[in-house]
Amino acid sequence: MNDQNRSNEAQDEIWNVPNKISAARLVLSFVVFALIPMQQYWAALIAFVIAAGTDWVDGWYARKYNQVTKLGRVLDPFCDKILVCGVYILLAVEMNGRFPWYAQIAGWMAVVVVGRELLVTVLRSMIEGAGGDFSAKMAGKLKMWFQCIAVGACLVALALQHESPEQPIPTWLFATVIVSTWASVISTVHSGWLYVQIAAATLRPGQDGEG
């Protein structure tokens, strides 16, 4: 009976509130992925905003109530990567040929985003395995903000164009798409390079995992 209680307590600790929120974000991600090809851009935007918002909620809750778990440290960034990478890929398909090359999420931009996330995942494993610190940096947080703004602006632009193909996209929205998409790419590359530098310093011969 005691073993059963300990097992239930461990299960409750693993699937605590923050991890359940992260799991819900993963489910919402696939909802977004289904809505975009169906050209339900407004619904996709709402689902994306909710999903992206839970990224802040689960982290805040875990820190405030001391519910940080090993599963959460893996699940939270995994869900973030699935959401952002998947949406960038789908938007690259949807926007191709419908907007000027400089005012859209292009295929190569999606490749940069996916490549950066794969690289950071490998570096995280190497650095934490060496005993280094790989906590979220401000550059990574800014990158996420720019990516979310770019996705939101692109979904609004697609929705308006879908509703009224003959009407031009409002100037403010067109400018927002341009600035946010390019800012997201620049910040993605910049934050990736910073993590490479951290990895190089942590894994440098003679460091022994320190620093």
Per the domain annotation, does 48 fall within a domain? yes
* Burial status of residue 38 (CB atoms within 10 A of its CB: 0-12, 13-18, 19 or more): exposed
User: What 3-state class would DSSP assign to 102?
Assistant: coil
Does residue 196 sit within a domain? yes
Domain boundaries, position 51 = 2-202
Q: Could you give the C-alpha distances from 68 to 29, 75, 126, in angstroms and in order? A: 22, 11, 21
Structure pTM?
A: 0.85
pLDDT value, residue 208: 47
Task: Give the CATH number, domain containing residue 157.
Answer: 1.20.120.1760
Domain membership flag for residue 207 = no
Domain-embedded: residue 210: no
The candidate with the shortest Cα–Cα distance to 155, out of 169, 134, 141, 136, is 169
Query: Over the stretch 1-60, which tens digit does the pLDDT of each residue have?
Result: 444 444 444 444 677 888 888 888 999 999 999 999 999 999 999 999 999 988 787 777
**Closest of 83, 101, 81 to residue 92, by C-alpha:** 101
Residue 11 in any domain: the answer is: yes
pLDDT tens across the length of the chain (211 residues): 444 444 444 444 677 888 888 888 999 999 999 999 999 999 999 999 999 988 787 777 777 777 777 777 778 888 889 999 999 999 999 999 999 999 999 999 999 999 999 998 888 777 766 666 666 578 888 999 999 999 999 999 999 999 999 999 999 999 999 999 999 999 999 999 988 888 787 777 655 444 3
In a domain, 37, yes or no: yes
Total structural domains within the chain: 1
Q: Of 143, 123, 144, 138, nearest to 186 (Cα)?
A: 143
Identify whether 173 is part of a domain.
yes
CB 162 within 8 A of CB 95: no
